[in-house]
Amino acid sequence: MKGIFTALIGAFDEQGQINEKGLREIVRYNIDHSKVDGLYVNGSTGENFLLSTPQKKKVFEIVKDEAGQEVKLIAQVGSLNLEESIELAKFTTELGYDALSAVTPFYYKFDFEEIKDYYNAILEEVDNQMIVYSIPALTGVNMNLEQFRELFENEKITGVKFTAPDFFLLERLRHAFPEKLIYSGFDEMLLPASVLGIDGAIGSTFNLNGVKAREIFESAQKGDLEKARKLQKETNDMISDVLSNGLYQTIKEVLKVRGVDAGVCRKPMKSATESQIKFAAEIQKKYFE
Ligand code: NAY
């Protein structure tokens, strides 16, 4: 379960329906071209929170059918509707997903007891491991070291996807829980996170840049910091341009330039404009050719 995991981008048609052919192409591209170790399915990057339960299930099914046993698969099943989370956790466990992940419940200001009960309630119902999805900037949920310790008391909680720029907490977590899986969630901070000893990374931009992401991770692990810094600098130039042009729209449009039919975003997200499409083509040329 270690290494580079792509947070899989979603593929939708103009009516907001799943573009199955495109989704299969994205899976194949990540496995065959980028050679990532795994896929994180129905995360933020998959536009998960815009999908109905049947649509989420369909994505899980298509990805598992396409990927088979070729790479590790993590199913993001988190939802404000606990029953939906449990239903998806059971569904993906039966499909053979290697791990579950669930975003910390958000919107209402849940206290820590409520958050802990949410994870334990999901895990009581399934025989699978859970990677906590912590992303304070989007959820407003900031957990401290002691709270992670309480969550980790449940042996089925085997790790965390740590999407935060808090390297003090990351170091404390690494030191305190050497046996837990820690994945870095911000691609632009992969190098410092790698130096602190993460087990892997889960990223949206790996849909485009999985090969170089692995090089950053492995160079840092080997202690070749000069090389890792050069690669992270090049990567961050690219990420800055991608973010300035609209993250998900740009990932999809760059993939299309490469012949991968990544479709469009689901409403209320906007699809790429002509100028975004043009800049995406420039990003492909500037950083990848
Ligand atoms: C997800 O669930 O898809 C992720 O959280 C993947 C991690 C990404 N976070 C978000 C919010 O998109 O890869 C990062 C991020 O896009 C990247 O570092 C650019 O900021």
**pLDDT at res. 6:** 98
**pLDDT at res. 225:** 98
ipTM here? 0.97
Domains identified in the chain, total number? 1
Q: Which domain holds residue 39?
A: 3-222
Residue 17 lies in a domain: yes
The enclosing domain of 129 has a CATH number of 3.20.20.70
Residue 101 lies in a domain: yes
pLDDT tens for each residue of 21-61? 999 999 999 999 999 999 999 999 999 999 999 999 999 99
Residue 78 lies in a domain: yes
Residue 100 lies in a domain: yes
User: How many Å lie between the centroid of ligand 1 and the Cα of residue 175?
Assistant: 24
User: How many Å lie between the centroid of ligand 1 and the Cα of residue 20?
Assistant: 22
Which residues on adjacent β-strands are paired with residue 4?
201
Name residues contacting ligand 1 (CB within 6 A).
7, 43-45, 135, 163, 185-188, 202-205, 239, 247
**pLDDT at res. 249:** 98
Percent of the chain exceeding pLDDT 70 equals 100
Residue 250 lies in a domain: no
**pLDDT at res. 289:** 96
